[in-house]
Amino acid sequence: MAAVADVASAAPIRVEVTRKIFPAAGGRDAQLVLQDVAFEVEPRSFLVMTGPSGCGKSTLLNIIAGLDTDYDGTIDLGPGKDRLTYIFQSPRLLPWRTIAENIALVLPEGDPRHANIPEMLERVGLTEAATAYPERVSLGMQRRAALARGFILEPEILLMDEPFVSLDDPTAQSLRQLLMDLWHRQPTTVIFITHDRSEAVQLGTRILRLAPGQASVVQDAQVNLTNAQRLDRAAVLAEQTRIFATA
Amino acid sequence: MAPVSTQTSSTRGPASAGLGWFPALERLGWVVASLASLALLWQVVAMTAADPRLFPGPAAVFGTMSGLAQSGALWSNISVTLERLVYAFSAAMMIGSVIGILLGTFPKADKFFDPWLILFLNLPAIVTITLCLIWGGMNQAAIVTAVALNKIPNTAVTMREGTRGLSRDLNEMAEIYKLGWWKTLRHVTLPQLAPFFAAAARAGLALIWKIVLVVEAFGGNGRGVGYQIFIAFQEFDVATILAYALAFIIIVQIIETAIMQPMLARVNRWRR
């Protein structure tokens, strides 16, 4: 991983959520979702949050993203807060705009980065699909377009919520490699959610495991893999066994 | 790294490119054959009718139509009615859309005003028409208001439905990517409402062109297709009634084909 820290992004992201409650609605009681979750994310690290479904991972990510402001606690995103990108679980492309238009839309008019769009499309393998509408291409291609849309902004903070879920294995694997490739070119602080342990180990430099029920951190582990080892299934599996056996 | 080229499916272009004008011609052939059969059936029934004045055949009706066209009465009455139709349609679409979008956006307002909407939806057209003409007099504004009032509640309901269905996912996307209000409105919100607007417009045209004739019959003040039909009714002049009806059907069908259908096709072009 690239470790060229500049002064602007040297400060870590600080997350502290003391309490998050879903209010009672539609016959369901109020529900305590998060309690006393606190951690820091080093600049340009790749943090993976993992845990069973319904443990509050996505809620936590929405809070970090600023989409959910109804919680007790503080989030300090540091100087990178204005360059934050969120890649959602579903691609969330505008179906009535072509793939290239969807990517161009997030850049202001006249932004010099418009010139980078063809190269970005090339990198994610969507050059030929650039003028297609999202619903006319496969889910894997839509996810690649969502990645390209996020990366064209050259974000300092990148939040990702299971962006490769419900894809067949080769497609998911190719997208993971694409993500690693893009992350090496544009070092970014990443917070990535998954419940796939192998994916967690392959991508992350650090893994946070959240407990079921009201999410709290139960394990905080560094991933000790070189970039080459991350492409080696056996090495990934060994590291996965080491990390996940300890809890 | 290599695997970026693993495309799991190819892109599909617009369907049926390259077939040219032939299917259009075939479709036209069916329409012509169908209408010709109807005219033939009409002619046969007309020939067996006891009083040809009460059941004129197609030839008689087209003769009347051509007479009306030559005297200038046909077009002058149609243009008066079309003008009212355009005003009432525009007013109903604009006012109905604003009401519908507001109700769809603010649930409390929706709860409060929903019974009003139901009341107006179920108010018989004849009641709104007579009340408008009694209160407003036999003038253009009262006629246009009477017509528009019959469509506003339907438009409001359709647009409310569209607004309620706006995607929260896409709004969050717009927020995260800092699109701003103008880009969000233009690229995220309006495209989601467009199919509802198109559906309301299409249904609106179908309703309004019928209502406008009824209003004119009541308060046409001597002008308009509806009023001419009302006069013809008093004289049992069926040929004139059918001539105006046919001419107006042709005009409305042209609006439907030339404006409404391309509009619907355009707002739906991205669908798979």
- Residue-wise pLDDT tens digits, B209-221: 899 999 999 876 7
Q: What is the spatial distance between Cα B102 and Cα B48, in angstroms, rounded to a whole number?
A: 57
At residue A159, the pLDDT reads 95
At residue B220, the pLDDT reads 64
10 Å CB burial of residue B55 (0-12, 13-18, 19+) is: middle
Within 10 Å of residue B147's Cβ, how many Cβ atoms? 30
Unique residue bearing structure tokens 């691609």 = A91
CB-closest option in A92, A173, A177 to B170? A92
Closest approach of A153 to chain B, Cα-based (Å): 9
CB-closest option in B4, B5, B270 to A133? B270
Unique residue bearing structure tokens 């504004």 = B141
At residue B10, the pLDDT reads 42
Residues A84, B176: C-beta atoms closer than 8 Å? yes
Tokens of A167: 């894809």
Q: What region does A35 belong to: left with phi over 0, alpha with psi -120 to 50, or beta? A: beta
Residue A88 forms contact with B (CB below 8 Å): yes
CB-closest option in A85, A123, A171 to B176? A85
**pLDDT band, very low/low/confident/very high, at B143 (cuts 50, 70, 90):** very high
Residues A106, B7: C-beta atoms closer than 8 Å? no
Identify the CA nearest to B9 among candidates A169, A179, A171: A171
Q: What is the spatial distance between Cα A214 and Cα A30, in angstroms, rounded to a whole number?
A: 13
Residue A83 forms contact with B (CB below 8 Å): no
| ipTM for the complex shown | 0.85
Tokens of B50: 């006891």
**DSSP sequence for A118-141:** HHHHHHTT-TTTTTS-GGGS-HHH
- Over residues B30-39, mean pLDDT: 92
Which stretches of chain A score pLDDT less than 70? 1-10, 213-215, 246-247
Identify the CA nearest to B224 among candidates B80, B45, B31: B80
Higher pLDDT, B249 or B15: B249
Residues A138, B9: C-beta atoms closer than 8 Å? yes
Residues B11, A128: C-beta atoms closer than 8 Å? yes
Closest approach of A96 to chain B, Cα-based (Å): 5
Higher pLDDT, B114 or B271: B114
Residues B12, A132: C-beta atoms closer than 8 Å? yes
Q: What is the spatial distance between Cα A183 and Cα B57, in angstroms, rounded to a whole number?
A: 79
Residues B169, A88: C-beta atoms closer than 8 Å? yes
| pLDDT(B15) > 50 | no
Residues with Cβ within 8 Å of residue B177, at least 6 apart in sequence? A85, A105, A106, A149, A153
At residue A168, the pLDDT reads 81
Interface with A, mutate which of B166, B176, B268 (most A CBs under 10 A): B176
**A36 close to A14: Cβ distance less than 8 angstroms:** no
- Over residues B13-33, mean pLDDT: 71
At residue B5, the pLDDT reads 39
DSSP state of A215: B
- Residue B48's identity, in one-letter code, is T
Per-residue b or e along A204-227, where b marks 16 or more CB atoms closer than 10 Å to that residue's CB: bbbbbbbeeebbbeeeebebebee
CB-closest option in B6, B176, B187 to A97? B187
Task: For chain A, list the strands marked E by DSSP.
Answer: 13-22, 31-41, 46-50, 72-76, 84-87, 157-161, 189-194, 206-210, 217-222
* B50-108 confidence digits (pLDDT tens): 888 889 999 999 999 999 999 999 999 999 999 999 999 999 999 999 999 999 999 99
Which chain A residues are closer than 8 Å to B177 by Cβ?
85, 105-106, 149, 153
Q: B152-164 and B190-219 are packed helices; what angle lies between their axes, rounded to 10 degrees?
A: 170
Per-residue b or e along B60-96, where b marks 16 or more CB atoms closer than 10 Å to that residue's CB: bbbebbeebeeeeebeebbebbbebbebbbebbbebb
When computed from its CA atoms, the radius of gyration of chain A, rounded to whole angstroms, is 18
Which chain B residues are closer than 8 Å to A90 by Cβ?
169
Residue ranges of A 111-150 with Cβ closer than 8 A to chain B: 123-125, 128-129, 132-133, 135-141, 144, 149
CB-closest option in B1, B8, B170 to A140? B8
At residue A32, the pLDDT reads 84
Does pTM surpass 0.90? no
Which chain A residues are closer than 8 Å to B176 by Cβ?
65, 67, 84-86
Tokens of A114: 């418009």
